[in-house]
Chains A and B, each alone.
Chain A
Amino acid sequence: MKMTSAQGSDDPVLQWVTFRLDNETYGINVMQVQEVLRYTEIAPVPGAPSYVLGIINLRGNVVTVIDTRQRFGLDTAPVSDNTRIVIIEADRQVVGILVDSVAEVVYLRQSEIETAPNVGNDESAKFIQGVCNKNNELLILVELDKMMSEEEWAELESI
């Protein structure tokens, strides 16, 4: 059962699903997460953009899986027992993102979130929503809707 963020508060508590990529911990808004799947075989799609790993069959529905490492500018890594596919809803589409592992759901107050530096021209920096110190660890909070451009989201729909 998903809990909603605190209503009527000036400093709402937000829930974030955290996952690991390349030894860093990232967080995404729990409201955008539909489910988390164990790694399953991903069927490549010929002619798909480089950031698309392929498609999976999710209870009769075709879901496109995105290469999160490529989106984040990280090197590729082998699949392990902890690898997961997080099914999310972004830009009115349901897609999967491949991550090294899924950690936990954390509760963060809006005031605890610091804005990330905005000093580069790289488009990929724009979907870092902020950073937060939690449990002696720095969480990088990601805004999934901005993970891709409008053109890229449109391209995903046609796969």
Chain B
Amino acid sequence: MSRTVLKESRSQQTLQSYLDALLQDAVIGLTESVSQDEFQAAVLEEQQRDVQRVVPLRQPEPVQARTVVAPVVAPVALEPQPQPLLELPPELAQRPVAAPVEPVAELLPQGQTPVGPPAQLSGQPEWGEEPFECLLFDVAGLTLAVPLVSLGSIYPLAGQELTPLFGQPSWFLGILPSQAGNLKVLDTARWVMAERYRDDYREGLQYVISVQGYEWGLAVHQVSRSIRLDPKEVKWRSQRTQRPWLAGTVIDHMCALVDVAALAELIASGATRHLKGVPS
């Protein structure tokens, strides 16, 4: 078997088992090694179960989102068809290390003000009640989807150095000076795949995606494309006691939908210190 095929089948298995683990909380008796058909059957079963079970949504607590004024560099036109989201200008790779990094893309949808949506730690979030745009990105081979409305800018890490701070948890990579201010960067892989994290996942991080309204950014390996999702295409998590940043699963794309605003709110509020399952 060629190396490429082997790598692809391994990443598929990793993704499969990861998504299966997500559903194990709700689907009883679902084993870890589940075939594609069994996975979809389990999702349908869970949807039917949710219809029968009425779970009142907890009223979201008002969150004072900090407005981050980001300079408009190059507004990105969001296309319904899959397209490469950005292309790095070659000169960005040669910027001096000390200069504040400029974003390569602004992810503000048209008509949106630069204030993030209120964080909601259970149920279907407000931004998921209508069709919404998502950005797909890659973290250590795992594809994740994030609602565009929650994102700010994309900053390249090429030629940049993060300033580490001692005494911080391992998922805190450091501070990235940017035009919008000092961005605190977290290791996304440590959050979304803590149980199978490897130290070499820190290599190859290429971009930091800032969270709208927060001073936090997610370090990722690749940024893919934007897609438009209908709320029905998502298996929403009704309970987010564990992994409150995980909003649900995008069924057709076989990827997790991350509520980055919830994650940033958790971190900014200091709740991560008392939350179970938080990577240390």
Flag if A117 contacts B172 (CB, 8 Å). yes
Tell me the B222-280 residues at the A interface (CB within 8 Å).
267, 270, 272-273, 280
Tell me if A73 counts as interface (CB < 8 A to partner B): yes
- Stretch of B35-43, B79-87, B159-167 on the interface side: B159-167
Residues of B within 8 A of A123 (CB): 167
Once the chains are docked, how many angstroms separate the CA of A123 from the CA of B168? Answer: 9
Nearest-Cβ distance from residue A53 to partner chain B, whole angstroms: 18
- Closest-by-CB residue of B relative to A23 is B161
Contacts of A126 in B (CB 8 A): 167
User: How many angstroms between the C-alpha atoms of A74 and B164 in the bound complex?
Assistant: 11
Task: Tell me, yes or no, whether B182 is within 8 Å of chain A by CB.
Answer: yes
Which residues of A94-121 are within 8 A (CB) of B?
Answer: 114, 116-121
Contact of B163 with A24 in the complex, beta carbons under 8 Å: yes
Known: A24-B163, A114-B182, A131-B182. A122 touches B168 (CB 8 A): yes
Neighbouring A residues of B175 by C-beta, 8 Å: 131, 138
Residues in B with CB closer than 8 Å to A10 are: none
Q: Which residues of A contact B96 (CB under 8 A)?
A: 136
Residues of B within 8 A of A137 (CB): 98
Contact check, A119 vs B167: say whether CB atoms are below 8 A apart: no
When chains A and B are docked, how far (Å) is the Cα of A90 from the Cα of B192? 42
Contact of B270 among A118, A124, A133, A140 (CB under 8 A): A118
By a CB distance below 8 angstroms, the chain B residues around A118 are 270
CB-based contact A138/B177 at 8 Å: yes
**Is A51 an interface position by the 8 A CB rule?**
no
Given contacts A119-B267, A131-B175, A133-B177, contact A140 B163 (CB under 8 A): yes
CA distance A119 to B267 in the complex (A): 6
A9 CA to B245 CA, complexed, in Å: 43
Is B273 in contact with A120, judged by CB distance below 8 angstroms?
yes
A125 touching B165, Cβ below 8 Å: yes
* B221 at interface, CB cutoff 8 A: no
Does B169 lie at the interface of the complex (its beta carbon under 8 Å from any beta carbon of A)? yes
B184 within 8 A of A: yes
Is A128 an interface residue when CB atoms closer than 8 A count as contact? yes
Given contacts A118-B270, A133-B177, A136-B98, A128 and B182 within 8 Å (CB-CB) = no
CB neighbours (8 Å) of B172 from chain A are: 117, 119-120
- Is B99's CB within 8 Å of the partner chain A? yes
Could you give, for residues 62-102 of chain A, a 1 whenever the CB lies within 8 Å of some chain B CB and a 0 otherwise? 00000000001110000000000000000000000000000
Instruction: Give chain A nearest CB distance to B29 CB in angstroms.
Output: 36
| Whole-angstrom CA separation of A116 from B166 in the bound complex | 11
The chain B residue with its CB closest to the CB of A116 is: B165
Chain B, range 179-217, C-beta contacts under 8 Å to A: 181-182, 184
Tell me, rounded to whole Å, the shortest Cβ–Cβ distance linking A13 to chain B.
20
When the two chains form their complex, are residues B163 and A117 in contact, meaning their CB atoms are under 8 A apart? Answer: no
Across the interface, A117 reaches (CB within 8 A) one of B99, B100, B165, B181, namely B165
A91 → chain B closest CB, angstroms? 19
Which of A74, A114, A120, A140 makes the CB contact (< 8 A) with B169? A120
Choose from A114, A124, A133, A138 the contact partner of B167 (Cβ within 8 Å): A124
**Which residue from chain B places its CB closest to the CB of A21 in the assembled complex?**
B166
Contacting residue for A119 out of B98, B181, B270, CB 8 A: B270
**Distance (Å) between the CB of B195 and the closest chain A CB?**
20
Chain B residues, CB < 8 A from A117? 165, 168, 172, 184, 267
Question: Are A128 and B166 touching (Cβ within 8 A)?
Answer: yes
Can you give 13 A-B contacts (C-beta < 8 A)? A24-B164, A72-B166, A73-B167, A114-B181, A119-B172, A120-B169, A120-B273, A121-B273, A125-B167, A127-B167, A128-B166, A131-B165, A136-B98
Which B residues are closer than 8 A to A by beta carbons?
A: 96, 98-100, 163-169, 172, 175, 177, 181-182, 184, 267, 270, 272-273, 280
